[in-house]
Structure 1
Amino acid sequence: MTDDGHLRPEAVAPAAGPPLLVETFARGQVTDLRHSFAACAEAAGLRDQRLDDFVLAVNELITNAVRHGGGAGRLRLWRVGATLVCEVSDGGGGIGAERLASNERPTPDTAGGWGLWLAGQLSDSMVVTSGPAGTTVEITTALDGAGRVADPAGAGERAE
Protein backbone atom coordinates (compact mmCIF):
# COMPACT_ATOMS: atom_id res chain seq x y z
CA MET A 1 0.00 0.00 0.00
CA THR A 2 1.11 3.53 -0.67
CA ASP A 3 1.05 6.27 1.94
CA ASP A 4 -2.16 7.63 0.41
CA GLY A 5 -3.96 4.34 1.12
CA HIS A 6 -4.27 3.21 -2.50
CA LEU A 7 -3.05 -0.16 -3.66
CA ARG A 8 -0.22 -0.27 -6.11
CA PRO A 9 -0.89 -2.74 -8.92
CA GLU A 10 2.05 -4.88 -7.82
CA ALA A 11 0.78 -4.88 -4.23
CA VAL A 12 -2.54 -6.56 -5.00
CA ALA A 13 -3.07 -9.79 -3.07
CA PRO A 14 -2.09 -12.93 -4.97
CA ALA A 15 -4.83 -14.60 -6.93
CA ALA A 16 -6.49 -17.76 -5.70
CA GLY A 17 -5.61 -20.70 -7.89
CA PRO A 18 -2.69 -21.14 -10.25
CA PRO A 19 -2.39 -18.49 -12.95
CA LEU A 20 -3.45 -19.46 -16.46
CA LEU A 21 -1.67 -16.46 -17.94
CA VAL A 22 0.63 -13.78 -16.53
CA GLU A 23 2.05 -11.27 -18.99
CA THR A 24 3.54 -7.82 -18.91
CA PHE A 25 2.81 -5.80 -22.01
CA ALA A 26 3.54 -2.52 -23.74
CA ARG A 27 2.45 -0.70 -26.88
CA GLY A 28 2.64 -2.92 -29.91
CA GLN A 29 1.85 -6.08 -27.92
CA VAL A 30 -1.90 -5.62 -27.47
CA THR A 31 -2.93 -7.75 -30.44
CA ASP A 32 -0.61 -10.65 -29.56
CA LEU A 33 -1.73 -10.53 -25.93
CA ARG A 34 -5.40 -10.52 -26.96
CA HIS A 35 -4.81 -13.70 -29.01
CA SER A 36 -2.93 -15.40 -26.14
CA PHE A 37 -5.64 -14.38 -23.71
CA ALA A 38 -8.40 -15.71 -25.98
CA ALA A 39 -6.63 -19.07 -26.34
CA CYS A 40 -6.17 -19.38 -22.56
CA ALA A 41 -9.77 -18.41 -21.81
CA GLU A 42 -11.06 -20.91 -24.34
CA ALA A 43 -8.79 -23.65 -22.98
CA ALA A 44 -10.22 -22.89 -19.51
CA GLY A 45 -13.73 -23.59 -20.81
CA LEU A 46 -15.12 -20.22 -21.92
CA ARG A 47 -17.11 -20.54 -25.13
CA ASP A 48 -19.12 -18.76 -27.81
CA GLN A 49 -20.50 -15.26 -27.10
CA ARG A 50 -19.22 -15.29 -23.50
CA LEU A 51 -15.69 -15.87 -24.82
CA ASP A 52 -16.04 -13.08 -27.38
CA ASP A 53 -17.43 -10.69 -24.74
CA PHE A 54 -14.71 -11.42 -22.19
CA VAL A 55 -11.93 -11.10 -24.78
CA LEU A 56 -13.36 -7.75 -25.88
CA ALA A 57 -13.60 -6.57 -22.26
CA VAL A 58 -9.97 -7.49 -21.62
CA ASN A 59 -8.88 -5.89 -24.88
CA GLU A 60 -10.49 -2.64 -23.73
CA LEU A 61 -8.63 -2.83 -20.41
CA ILE A 62 -5.22 -3.52 -21.92
CA THR A 63 -5.77 -0.81 -24.52
CA ASN A 64 -6.63 1.64 -21.72
CA ALA A 65 -3.46 0.65 -19.88
CA VAL A 66 -1.24 1.53 -22.83
CA ARG A 67 -3.20 4.66 -23.79
CA HIS A 68 -3.90 6.15 -20.37
CA GLY A 69 -1.84 4.17 -17.87
CA GLY A 70 1.74 4.88 -18.74
CA GLY A 71 2.12 2.80 -21.90
CA ALA A 72 2.52 -0.60 -20.25
CA GLY A 73 0.79 -2.98 -17.89
CA ARG A 74 0.39 -6.45 -16.49
CA LEU A 75 -2.33 -9.01 -17.12
CA ARG A 76 -3.15 -11.99 -14.92
CA LEU A 77 -5.79 -14.63 -15.65
CA TRP A 78 -6.84 -17.39 -13.27
CA ARG A 79 -9.77 -19.67 -12.57
CA VAL A 80 -11.70 -19.91 -9.31
CA GLY A 81 -14.16 -22.79 -9.55
CA ALA A 82 -16.46 -22.05 -12.50
CA THR A 83 -15.31 -18.43 -12.78
CA LEU A 84 -12.52 -16.84 -14.78
CA VAL A 85 -10.88 -13.82 -13.19
CA CYS A 86 -8.73 -11.36 -15.12
CA GLU A 87 -6.75 -8.51 -13.63
CA VAL A 88 -5.16 -5.75 -15.67
CA SER A 89 -2.92 -3.25 -13.89
CA ASP A 90 -0.86 -0.27 -14.96
CA GLY A 91 1.45 2.29 -13.41
CA GLY A 92 -0.27 5.41 -14.70
CA GLY A 93 -1.56 8.37 -12.72
CA GLY A 94 -4.92 6.80 -11.89
CA ILE A 95 -8.51 7.45 -12.87
CA GLY A 96 -10.34 10.45 -11.47
CA ALA A 97 -12.92 9.90 -8.74
CA GLU A 98 -15.69 11.46 -10.85
CA ARG A 99 -15.03 9.03 -13.70
CA LEU A 100 -14.94 6.04 -11.34
CA ALA A 101 -18.20 7.08 -9.68
CA SER A 102 -20.11 7.13 -12.97
CA ASN A 103 -21.69 3.92 -14.27
CA GLU A 104 -23.55 5.74 -17.02
CA ARG A 105 -23.11 4.84 -20.66
CA PRO A 106 -21.05 7.50 -22.46
CA THR A 107 -23.02 9.59 -24.92
CA PRO A 108 -22.62 8.59 -28.57
CA ASP A 109 -20.67 11.76 -29.37
CA THR A 110 -18.15 11.12 -26.56
CA ALA A 111 -14.67 10.42 -27.95
CA GLY A 112 -13.41 8.59 -24.87
CA GLY A 113 -14.69 6.80 -21.81
CA TRP A 114 -16.10 3.78 -23.59
CA GLY A 115 -13.43 1.21 -22.65
CA LEU A 116 -14.04 0.97 -18.92
CA TRP A 117 -17.80 1.17 -19.35
CA LEU A 118 -17.76 -1.55 -22.01
CA ALA A 119 -15.54 -3.83 -19.89
CA GLY A 120 -18.07 -3.54 -17.08
CA GLN A 121 -20.96 -4.36 -19.39
CA LEU A 122 -19.26 -7.40 -20.92
CA SER A 123 -18.17 -9.02 -17.65
CA ASP A 124 -20.11 -10.38 -14.67
CA SER A 125 -18.33 -8.18 -12.16
CA MET A 126 -15.75 -5.42 -12.22
CA VAL A 127 -13.71 -3.87 -9.41
CA VAL A 128 -11.48 -0.87 -10.06
CA THR A 129 -8.77 0.26 -7.65
CA SER A 130 -7.05 3.44 -8.72
CA GLY A 131 -4.70 6.01 -7.31
CA PRO A 132 -1.58 8.01 -8.16
CA ALA A 133 0.51 4.82 -8.36
CA GLY A 134 -1.71 3.22 -10.99
CA THR A 135 -4.93 1.39 -11.67
CA THR A 136 -5.95 -2.23 -11.26
CA VAL A 137 -9.15 -3.54 -12.83
CA GLU A 138 -10.42 -7.02 -11.99
CA ILE A 139 -13.23 -8.52 -14.05
CA THR A 140 -14.90 -11.92 -13.85
CA THR A 141 -17.05 -14.15 -16.01
CA ALA A 142 -18.82 -17.39 -15.14
CA LEU A 143 -17.81 -20.26 -17.37
CA ASP A 144 -21.36 -21.62 -17.33
CA GLY A 145 -22.99 -18.27 -18.08
CA ALA A 146 -24.74 -18.17 -14.69
CA GLY A 147 -23.42 -14.68 -13.91
CA ARG A 148 -25.65 -12.93 -16.44
CA VAL A 149 -29.37 -12.36 -16.53
CA ALA A 150 -31.53 -11.27 -19.44
CA ASP A 151 -32.01 -7.53 -19.68
CA PRO A 152 -35.67 -6.76 -19.03
CA ALA A 153 -35.63 -4.19 -21.83
CA GLY A 154 -34.67 -6.95 -24.25
CA ALA A 155 -31.33 -5.38 -25.14
CA GLY A 156 -29.35 -8.56 -24.52
CA GLU A 157 -27.54 -9.50 -21.35
CA ARG A 158 -26.28 -7.41 -18.48
CA ALA A 159 -23.91 -8.07 -15.62
CA GLU A 160 -25.67 -8.85 -12.38
Structure 2
Amino acid sequence: MFTLASQSPRRIELLRELHLEFDCKTAQINEQALLETNKNISFHDLVKKLAMAKAWEVFEREDQHYPVLAADTIVILNNKILGKPENGQDAKRMLIQLCGQYHEVLTGVSMIDEQGETAFVSASRVKFRPFSPQVEDIIDASIRSGSALDKAGAYGIQ
Protein backbone atom coordinates (compact mmCIF):
# COMPACT_ATOMS: atom_id res chain seq x y z
CA MET A 1 0.00 0.00 0.00
CA PHE A 2 1.19 3.51 -0.80
CA THR A 3 -0.19 6.99 -1.45
CA LEU A 4 0.01 8.66 -4.84
CA ALA A 5 0.48 12.39 -4.29
CA SER A 6 -1.52 13.24 -7.40
CA GLN A 7 -5.00 13.33 -8.88
CA SER A 8 -3.63 12.91 -12.42
CA PRO A 9 -5.96 10.58 -14.32
CA ARG A 10 -3.00 9.36 -16.41
CA ARG A 11 -0.87 8.47 -13.39
CA ILE A 12 -3.79 6.78 -11.65
CA GLU A 13 -4.57 4.75 -14.77
CA LEU A 14 -0.94 3.64 -15.19
CA LEU A 15 -0.74 2.44 -11.58
CA ARG A 16 -4.11 0.67 -11.79
CA GLU A 17 -2.90 -1.19 -14.89
CA LEU A 18 -0.12 -2.57 -12.67
CA HIS A 19 -2.76 -3.76 -10.16
CA LEU A 20 -1.12 -1.83 -7.32
CA GLU A 21 -2.95 -0.94 -4.12
CA PHE A 22 -2.82 2.81 -3.47
CA ASP A 23 -4.83 5.82 -2.47
CA CYS A 24 -4.59 9.37 -3.83
CA LYS A 25 -3.99 12.67 -2.06
CA THR A 26 -3.47 16.00 -3.78
CA ALA A 27 -0.23 17.73 -2.85
CA GLN A 28 -0.86 21.28 -1.68
CA ILE A 29 2.25 23.09 -2.85
CA ASN A 30 2.71 26.41 -4.61
CA GLU A 31 4.37 25.24 -7.83
CA GLN A 32 4.74 28.78 -9.14
CA ALA A 33 6.62 29.86 -6.01
CA LEU A 34 8.92 26.84 -6.33
CA LEU A 35 9.58 27.70 -9.97
CA GLU A 36 10.33 31.33 -9.08
CA THR A 37 12.71 30.49 -6.23
CA ASN A 38 14.61 27.85 -8.22
CA LYS A 39 15.38 29.71 -11.46
CA ASN A 40 19.12 29.06 -11.18
CA ILE A 41 19.07 25.26 -11.07
CA SER A 42 18.98 22.85 -13.99
CA PHE A 43 15.63 21.73 -15.39
CA HIS A 44 16.48 18.16 -14.29
CA ASP A 45 17.05 19.32 -10.70
CA LEU A 46 13.94 21.50 -10.82
CA VAL A 47 11.55 18.74 -11.88
CA LYS A 48 13.06 16.42 -9.27
CA LYS A 49 12.61 19.12 -6.62
CA LEU A 50 8.96 19.61 -7.64
CA ALA A 51 8.27 15.87 -7.30
CA MET A 52 10.05 15.74 -3.94
CA ALA A 53 8.13 18.76 -2.64
CA LYS A 54 4.82 17.10 -3.55
CA ALA A 55 5.78 13.81 -1.90
CA TRP A 56 7.06 15.47 1.28
CA GLU A 57 3.99 17.70 1.60
CA VAL A 58 1.62 14.72 1.51
CA PHE A 59 3.89 12.55 3.68
CA GLU A 60 4.08 15.18 6.42
CA ARG A 61 0.47 16.40 6.21
CA GLU A 62 -1.02 12.93 6.25
CA ASP A 63 1.45 11.65 8.90
CA GLN A 64 2.10 8.70 6.63
CA HIS A 65 3.36 5.34 7.79
CA TYR A 66 3.55 3.95 4.29
CA PRO A 67 5.29 5.31 1.19
CA VAL A 68 4.25 8.35 -0.83
CA LEU A 69 4.89 8.47 -4.57
CA ALA A 70 4.88 11.77 -6.47
CA ALA A 71 5.77 12.87 -9.98
CA ASP A 72 5.91 16.09 -11.94
CA THR A 73 6.42 16.68 -15.66
CA ILE A 74 7.76 19.72 -17.48
CA VAL A 75 8.24 20.38 -21.17
CA ILE A 76 11.30 22.38 -22.26
CA LEU A 77 11.43 24.18 -25.61
CA ASN A 78 14.31 26.51 -26.49
CA ASN A 79 15.47 26.53 -22.85
CA LYS A 80 12.04 27.63 -21.58
CA ILE A 81 9.42 25.72 -19.60
CA LEU A 82 6.05 25.21 -21.25
CA GLY A 83 3.59 24.81 -18.39
CA LYS A 84 -0.06 23.85 -18.50
CA PRO A 85 -2.01 26.04 -20.93
CA GLU A 86 -4.36 28.64 -19.51
CA ASN A 87 -7.05 27.95 -22.13
CA GLY A 88 -7.61 26.48 -25.58
CA GLN A 89 -5.98 29.41 -27.36
CA ASP A 90 -2.85 29.05 -25.20
CA ALA A 91 -2.80 25.28 -25.84
CA LYS A 92 -2.97 25.86 -29.60
CA ARG A 93 -0.14 28.41 -29.40
CA MET A 94 2.03 25.92 -27.49
CA LEU A 95 1.31 23.01 -29.82
CA ILE A 96 2.00 25.10 -32.93
CA GLN A 97 5.24 26.28 -31.30
CA LEU A 98 6.27 22.64 -30.80
CA CYS A 99 5.63 21.72 -34.46
CA GLY A 100 8.81 20.73 -36.27
CA GLN A 101 10.87 21.31 -33.11
CA TYR A 102 12.87 19.06 -30.84
CA HIS A 103 11.96 19.57 -27.21
CA GLU A 104 12.54 17.76 -23.95
CA VAL A 105 9.96 16.16 -21.66
CA LEU A 106 11.26 15.69 -18.12
CA THR A 107 9.44 13.76 -15.42
CA GLY A 108 10.72 13.84 -11.86
CA VAL A 109 9.65 10.95 -9.64
CA SER A 110 10.02 10.82 -5.86
CA MET A 111 9.22 8.09 -3.34
CA ILE A 112 9.30 8.86 0.38
CA ASP A 113 8.86 6.52 3.32
CA GLU A 114 9.95 6.39 6.96
CA GLN A 115 13.51 5.43 5.91
CA GLY A 116 13.99 8.43 3.62
CA GLU A 117 13.55 9.34 -0.01
CA THR A 118 14.65 8.38 -3.47
CA ALA A 119 14.16 10.40 -6.62
CA PHE A 120 15.06 10.25 -10.29
CA VAL A 121 14.32 12.03 -13.57
CA SER A 122 13.18 10.44 -16.81
CA ALA A 123 14.03 12.47 -19.92
CA SER A 124 12.63 12.12 -23.44
CA ARG A 125 13.66 14.07 -26.52
CA VAL A 126 10.63 14.54 -28.75
CA LYS A 127 10.10 16.07 -32.17
CA PHE A 128 6.67 16.95 -33.52
CA ARG A 129 5.76 16.93 -37.19
CA PRO A 130 6.09 20.23 -39.02
CA PHE A 131 2.97 22.36 -39.01
CA SER A 132 0.45 21.62 -41.77
CA PRO A 133 -3.33 21.85 -42.24
CA GLN A 134 -3.61 18.18 -41.18
CA VAL A 135 -1.56 18.85 -38.03
CA GLU A 136 -3.75 21.86 -37.27
CA ASP A 137 -6.82 19.59 -37.48
CA ILE A 138 -5.21 17.21 -34.96
CA ILE A 139 -4.36 20.13 -32.66
CA ASP A 140 -7.90 21.50 -32.87
CA ALA A 141 -9.40 18.06 -32.12
CA SER A 142 -7.12 17.70 -29.09
CA ILE A 143 -8.22 21.09 -27.78
CA ARG A 144 -11.92 20.36 -28.40
CA SER A 145 -11.62 17.09 -26.47
CA GLY A 146 -10.08 18.92 -23.52
CA SER A 147 -7.09 16.58 -23.44
CA ALA A 148 -4.64 19.41 -24.17
CA LEU A 149 -5.71 21.62 -21.29
CA ASP A 150 -4.40 19.82 -18.21
CA LYS A 151 -0.91 18.83 -19.31
CA ALA A 152 2.47 20.52 -19.41
CA GLY A 153 3.14 21.63 -22.98
CA ALA A 154 -0.52 20.90 -23.82
CA TYR A 155 0.08 17.22 -24.59
CA GLY A 156 0.87 13.94 -22.87
CA ILE A 157 3.06 10.96 -23.62
CA GLN A 158 2.06 7.74 -21.92
Q: Tell me the TM-score normalized by structure 1.
A: 0.29
- Larger Cα-atom Rg: 2
**Where is the helix percentage greater, Structure 1 or Structure 2?**
2
